[in-house]
């Protein structure tokens, strides 16, 4: 049998631990592709592995439960799930925190500060708000991108009460360019609820935070409460999942419940520090210098995330043996990159949306171009933002004639008098009063081209067609209750809080203007 990683137990040198990291747990994307750690690694002599893992199958094996198979190059029998546990986390935790001290400030994250056990209730609540904002921004976004947005956000909304007083338009304006705008609306909804129901403070424990604040799931609750409040709760994002799967040599389907249960248990073990001083949030472990160094759950969780994002990357062959002297390298291919098990990717389904760029200009001022924009629903993709009217998920082989008919269908749902709009190639203004609505005509419907976006599970094609309206002295009036939602998807897969509840941010959305006419020079700023 090929050699495996040296077990982490100091009491039982021949027992080991296994865990895996799923690629779908990317709600906290601390990894920065442009970052290369420059810290000097600890040097040591590699020790020879003299034992193998305990393979006693005394209960249902992980392979039987989740369909796990060993990676190519490894020949291991079915084994108990109890194999994949961290028996003695102390030495690994000590090495992890020692390393983290050397890189704590390397990437210049303004939200990262040393834990202070002497902070009062208000100060800890403020820290929770700051960590919350950073964690939501870091979902699927690199650190270097987030930093300037975070700084601008905290300047505009320094406290949770300042955020709760904001409108969705103010929030979206500040969020512009960061993407995944539903994150911003959930921050606003969460702030409003915290101020209205919890005296302007986020709950100080992960259980209540996850169940009571919109958009906060298990990972974010663990990160916020461990970092700000010192609660001993774990985190498991994509980085920690990948790191622990390699530490534990766990090879099983990354989304399977048995896999996740094992990983969450390992992450919990890492933060379960034994107190050596009564009433202390932090705990201590004996150092070589006999100095009692405090250990805090938030530091441990941040260190796990940092190690996973900067050293234990997805496709790197680098390992952590030079940091952790209780870990042994994989000496046989494919090495650490065999873990976690690669999730089988489904072929992305193809969808086609027709985007109607509806332009209006008057006869008297043809250069004064106005564009019709509609507000998206309160939930789903780009919630609460304005964009062009869109016909969603139309047949992939739709004809040009059918595309044009979609415009004739969508106009009466938004503007008044659309049923009387005529269709002609060029408007003849002789003898007509431009102030009459019946003089409004569709002067042009012109295909512009396609824009393709490839998501993880959808290949979305946006087919753009320009629709030019002419006539009248001002843009056509908007209906009081335009029928916009029939053309919109209403569901979105959320990375976080999916199982806990549906996030309803209706109260955070100003829907007083469901559709507006916008001058050409303001279109980009409106979206």
Residues assigned a catalytic role: 135
Q: Is the peptide bond before 204 cis (omega within 30 degrees of 0)?
A: no
The DSSP annotation for 282-307 comes to SEEEE-TTS-EEEE-HHHHHHHHHHH
Q: What are phi and psi of 515, to 5 degrees?
A: -150, 145
In terms of Cβ atoms closer than 10 Å to its own Cβ (0-12, 13-18, 19+), residue 90 is middle
Q: Give CA–CA dist 182/167, Å, rounded.
A: 14
Residue 421 DSSP one-character state: -
Residue 211, phi then psi, degrees to nearest 5: -85, -20
If we measure between CA atoms, which residue out of 393, 400, 509 comes closest to residue 459?
Answer: 393
Cβ distance 6 to 91 under 8 Å?
Answer: no
Half-sphere exposure in the Cβ direction for 159 (13 Å, CA)? 12
- How do 283-286 and 292-295 pair as beta strands? antiparallel
| Residue indicated by tokens 């369909």 | 67
Q: Which helix (H) or strand (E) holds 241?
A: helix 238-247
CA separation for the pair 194, 204 (Å, rounded): 12
CA 441 – CA 423 distance, rounded (Å): 6
Give the Cα separation of 459 and 352 in Å (integer).
9
Give the C-alpha separation, 257 to 320, whole Å: 27
Q: Where does residue 294 rank: exposed (0-12), middle (13-18), buried (19+ CB within 10 A)?
A: middle
Structural contact between residues 467 and 408, judged by C-beta atoms closer than 8 angstroms: no
Output the six-digit token pair for 83.
């194999």
| Calpha distance 144→475 (Å, rounded) | 43
């Amino acid at each position: 049998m090929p050699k495996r990683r040296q077990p982490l137990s100091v009491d039982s040198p021949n027992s080991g631990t296994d865990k895996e990291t799923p690629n779908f747990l990317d709600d906290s994307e601390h990894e920065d592709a442009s970052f290369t750690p420059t810290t000097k690694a600890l040097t040591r002599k590699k020790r020879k592995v003299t034992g193998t893992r305990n393979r006693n199958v005394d209960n249902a094996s992980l392979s039987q439960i989740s369909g796990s198979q060993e990676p190519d190059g490894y020949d291991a029998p079915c084994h108990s799930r109890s194999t994949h546990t961290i028996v003695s986390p102390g030495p690994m935790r000590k090495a992890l925190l020692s390393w983290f001290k050397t890189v704590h400030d390397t990437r210049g994250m303004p939200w990262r500060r040393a834990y202070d056990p002497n902070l009062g209730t208000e100060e800890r609540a403020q820290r929770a708000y700051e960590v919350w904002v950073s964690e939501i921004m870091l979902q699927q976004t690199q650190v270097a991108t987030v930093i300037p947005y975070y700084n601008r956000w905290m300047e505009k909304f320094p406290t949770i009460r300042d955020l709760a007083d904001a409108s969705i338009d103010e929030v979206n304006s500040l969020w512009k360019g960061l993407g995944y705008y539903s994150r911003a609306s959930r921050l606003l909804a969460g702030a409003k609820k915290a101020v209205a129901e919890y005296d302007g403070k986020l709950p100080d424990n992960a259980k209540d935070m996850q169940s009571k604040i919109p958009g906060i799931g298990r990972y974010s609750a663990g990160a916020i409460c461990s970092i700000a409040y010192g609660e001993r709760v774990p985190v498991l994002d994509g980085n920690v999942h990948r790191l622990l799967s390699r530490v534990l040599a766990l090879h099983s389907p990354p989304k399977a419940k048995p896999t996740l249960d094992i990983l969450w248990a390992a992450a919990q073990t890492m933060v379960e520090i034994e107190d050596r001083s009564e009433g202390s949030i932090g705990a201590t472990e004996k150092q070589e210098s006999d100095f009692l160094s405090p250990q805090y759950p938030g530091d441990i969780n941040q260190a796990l995330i940092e190690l996973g994002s900067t050293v234990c990357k997805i496709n790197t062959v680098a390992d952590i043996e030079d940091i952790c002297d209780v870990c042994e390298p994989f000496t046989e291919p494919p090495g650490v990159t065999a873990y976690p098990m690669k999730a089988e990717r489904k072929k992305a389904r193809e969808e086609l949306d027709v985007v109607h760029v509806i332009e209006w200009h008057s006869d008297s001022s043809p250069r004064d171009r106005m564009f019709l924009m509609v507000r998206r629903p309160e939930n789903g993709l780009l919630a609460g933002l304005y964009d062009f009217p869109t016909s969603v998920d139309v047949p992939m082989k739709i004809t040009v004639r059918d595309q044009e008919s979609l415009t004739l269908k969508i106009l009466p749902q938004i503007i008044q008098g659309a049923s009387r709009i005529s269709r002609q190639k060029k408007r003849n203004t002789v003898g007509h009063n431009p102030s009459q609505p019946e003089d409004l005509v569709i002067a042009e419907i012109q295909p512009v081209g396609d824009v393709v976006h490839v998501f993880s599970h959808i290949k979305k094609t946006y087919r753009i067609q320009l629709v030019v309206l002419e006539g009248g002295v001002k843009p056509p009036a908007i209906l009081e209750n335009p029928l916009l939602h029939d053309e919109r998807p209403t569901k979105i897969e959320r990375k976080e809080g999916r199982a806990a509840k549906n996030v309803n941010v209706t109260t955070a959305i100003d829907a007083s203007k469901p559709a507006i006419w916008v001058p050409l020079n303001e279109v980009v700023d409106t979206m």
